[in-house]
Structure 1
Amino acid sequence: MNEDVRNVQAALATMTEHWQPHRLTSVNDYDVKVVKLLGEFVWHTHPDTDELFMVVHGRLTIQLRDRDVVLGPNDVFVVPKGVEHCPRADEEVQAILFEPKGTVNTGDAGGEMTSELREFG
């Protein structure tokens, strides 16, 4: 395979930990990340940026303070900057995230679920 080509399924197949995003590639000042999710994350915001979720496999609930947004395979949802949210996966979810380089997974919440971005490959 060409070294410039990345395969989402191949990347996800190498991942064993949940809530630990890996950079698949970058586009301008944005990272395209793959991640496996299971359980409930932490309530947090990203004060300076939107966050895009695209579900590859499974069913993801993005809890907002005023409603829940449920995503299935191939669904995309953008959490607007500054909106408090808490992703929840009752069964394992495989997803793609699109956000500016340097965005911390736990946003302004910090804590033990904060992960350093890992590289795929």
Structure 2
Amino acid sequence: MDAINIQHKFSKFNKNWHPHQVAIVDNMQVLLAKLKGEFVWHSHEDEDELFQVVKGTLYMQFRDRTEIVKEGELIVVPKGVEHNPMTKNNEEVHVILFEKLSTAHTGKVQHEKTQTHYPKI
């Protein structure tokens, strides 16, 4: 039951699109990730996913629109909704992710950016 310094945890890794686990709450995990550029179109059939922007501006692409999520804001992507997070102008965006432990990084999509293990920091 120690406090977690989010900024300190962000300083422990540099790789983009590679979430790191900082906590588990029941069957949910809290992940930190640094995002830069475009990710991959995917969905999660059985899990919602929450993105909270800590630094920068996230562009959450959906097939019919793009939502702009600014620093201090969050967005929930409902289960089954295809999405593709991205950043613009070479900006690195820092996010906190809240998702079930069972959530696959890129859903059923296999891609070079797909991660199967989230290091705990």
CA distance in 1, matches of 2:5, 2:92: 19
Where in structure 1 are there 5+ consecutive unaligned residues? none
Q: TM-score, normalised by structure 2?
A: 0.94
CA displacement, residues 21-40 of structure 1 (integer Å, 9 cap, x when unaligned): 00010111000000000010
Q: Which has the higher strand share?
A: 1
CA RMSD of aligned residues (A): 1.0
Q: Which residue of 2 aligns with 1:37?
A: 35
CA distance in 2, matches of 1:23, 1:42: 21
Runs of 4+ more than 2 Å apart: none
Deviation of the 1:8 alpha carbon: 0.8
Deviation of the 1:4 alpha carbon: 2.2
Equivalent pairs, count: 118
- What is the aligned counterpart of 1:61 among 34, 53, 59? 59
Superposed, 1:18-97 pairs within 5 Å as 18-90=16-88, 91-97=91-97
Deviation of the 1:9 alpha carbon: 0.6
Q: TM-score, normalised by structure 1?
A: 0.94
Deviation of the 1:10 alpha carbon: 0.6
CA distance in 2, matches of 1:4, 1:104: 28
1:119 maps onto 2:104 in alignment:
no
Q: Which residue of 2 aligns with 1:103?
A: 103
Deviation of the 1:111 alpha carbon: 1.8
Letter in 1 for 2:64: D
Where in structure 2 are there 5+ consecutive unaligned residues? none
